[in-house]
Every structure is written in structure tokens, then in C-alpha cells.
Homo-oligomer: A and B are copies of this chain.
Amino acid sequence: MTPIQIAIVGVGKIVRDQHLPAISKNADYRLIAAASRHGTVDGIDNFKSIEAMLEAVPAIDAVSLCMPPQYRYEAAHLALQAGKHVFLEKPPGATLSEVADLEALAAAKGVSLFASWHSRYAPAVEAAKAFLASTAIRNVKVIWKEDVRHWHPHQEWIWAAGGLGVFDPGINALSIVTHILPRPIFITSATLEFPENRDAPIAATIAFSDAGKLSVSAEFDWRQTGKQSWDIVAETDAGEMVLSEGGAKLAVDGKLVHEEPEQEYPMLYRRFAELIKAGKSDVDLAPLRHVADAFMLGRRKFVDVFYD
């Protein structure tokens, strides 16, 4: 098969760290162009805007959109309207409604839209899902605590209204939880902690339930120094399951049962190629819907000012 001629929009850290290596190692793709206000990619045509790129390079089959979510709708709409397949970095947009609109447009144009959730492709996630399906779950605790100064230094957009704050990493946890639990969950209460000088939360405590009254709790915190935690702990009839390091390791009753090298972005690009070949889209809004639900239902609490 002829490789998929792909272009990148929004050349930043995640593109250099993850997208470019994943694309270059996958024979299904040939990277032919990039568009970005500031960044460029060596060895291909670079443009300042997606409009200019789509105009100049009609051979593009697919685009990966990696700019901040606040700017993603317009680019996605242009690309879909031009008949290109679209890969959306997480979160897929600034609102649920705009992503629903894009999904309808992709269907109308007969192209593939992929709302990617990279953490779902962490090495031990499928093993955790299989383990939970094999037993009865008593309760689930999600602990996602990291140091924002280390992971997002001076990223102002993440603190703006719509930037999601601590839900930017938290949505990774939600993308895993919604994938591995046997039934859909929904939020019953939440508290969001906003620094007095910021428009996005620095921490959140969330309680979920499901049709079987399972108790699922989540603690997201961006003020964690020292050891970082990206863990999902489930008490089950078959022991305590710990999915740790963001889905990299699975242990049951303290015994490591699954650990493999991390392959998230290579797997995302494999999935995107499969979707294009099958003529399908994959737009699961559940993780972003939980974030919107948390903002709608949650109580706001004000905490100390935050400076980088």
C-alpha cells in the first residue's frame, strides 16, 4: 500500500518527543509537511498556517493536530472539509460540542477522525482490563499527583480558562479508568481547587459511581513534590490490583504481573492507520465528558496563589 502522506500541525515538545519518532518508525506513513506558528521540522516543507499548508500541498492525506485544544476546532474543520483524515492529540477539543460537530463532519466527508487517548495504550492497560473483567471489583482509587512546575513549566495556556489545569494530566487517568472498568461510571460529587490567581484548578477530588453502585474515587493534584504518583488501585475479590506509573506496570497483591516497554505513540499511529484503512472513526468522548461533568457538578474551593 502507498504510505499515508501525513502532516503535523502545532510543532511543540510533544511532537518532537513522541509524534515524529512514532511516525518515522511506521512504514504506513510518510511525513511530508508541517504547519506551526513557531516550530519547524527538518527535511520537509514547513508552513506558518494549516490553510497555507493545505493550499500548497494537496497530496496530504492526513493531519495530526497537536496545538493547544483551544485552537484545535478550526484546524480540524479545515482539514476535514478538505477531505483529510484527522488525528487529534488529547484532549480532542476545548468543548464537547465542537468535537461532536467534527465527528458529524468526518462522517459526512467519509474520512477518519481519531480522538486519541495515548494513556490507553500504556503497556499494562489491557492486562488490567482483563484482570478486572475476571473478578468482582470492590472499589477503585485513582491517585494522579505530579509536580506541575516540573512537567508544565511556564505553560500559560494550561492555566487559562479552558486549559483544564490539573485535568490535563487527570484526563489521562480518566481515559484509562473508562477503558478498564466493566461498566460506565458517572460523577456523583467533586471538589475543584483553584489557586486564587488562576482560571484553572490545581487539584480535584472526585467521587464516581456506576449502575452497580461501585465506588470510584479520584485525587488529582499538581502540587506533588518528591515521588510522583500515577496509580489506579482496585480492591477486588482476587486481590489488590495496582496499575502504576501511568499504566506501565501491573501488580496484584504486590507481585508484578505485567511490565513492558512503553509504546504509546507508536500504537496510536498504528491505530490511526487501521482506522483510515477501515474507513472508520474513533471518537470516544467519555474522558472529556467526565471533565466537563466535574466542572459542572463540582464545588469550587479557593487555595493559595500559584506562581511558576
- By a beta-carbon cutoff of 8 Å, the part of chain A in contact with chain B is 73, 77, 94-98, 100-101, 104-105, 161-162, 164, 184-187, 189-190, 194, 199, 210-211, 286, 289-293, 295-300
Contact = CB atoms under 8 A, between A and B. Distances in A.
Contacts of A164: 296
Given A77-B211, A211-B105, A184 B97 contact: yes
Nearest to A69: B297
B299 A95 contact: no
20 contacts: A95-B186, A95-B293, A95-B296, A95-B297, A96-B292, A97-B184, A97-B186, A97-B187, A97-B290, A100-B289, A104-B184, A161-B189, A161-B297, A161-B300, A162-B297, A194-B300, A199-B299, A199-B300, A292-B292, A292-B296
Given A97-B293, A104-B184, 9 more contacts: A73-B186, A77-B211, A94-B297, A95-B187, A97-B184, A97-B185, A97-B289, A161-B298, A161-B299
A300 B197 CA distance: 11
Copies of this protein in the assembly total 2
Contacts of A210: 101
A199 B298 CA distance: 9
B300 A98 contact: no
Contacts of A101: 184, 186, 210-211
Contacts of A297: 94-95, 161-162
Contacts of A187: 95, 97
Nearest to A104: B184
A186 to B, nearest CB: 4
Contacts of A286: 97
A117 to B, nearest CB: 16
Nearest to A191: B161
Contacts of A291: 296
B211 A162 contact: no
Contacts of A298: 161
A210 B97 CA distance: 10
Contact of A293 (B96, B184, B189): B96
Contacts of A184: 97, 100-101, 104
A171 to B, nearest CB: 11
A98 B186 contact: yes
B211 A96 contact: no
A208 to B, nearest CB: 9
Contacts of A190: 161
Contacts of A211: 77, 101, 105
Contacts of A77: 211
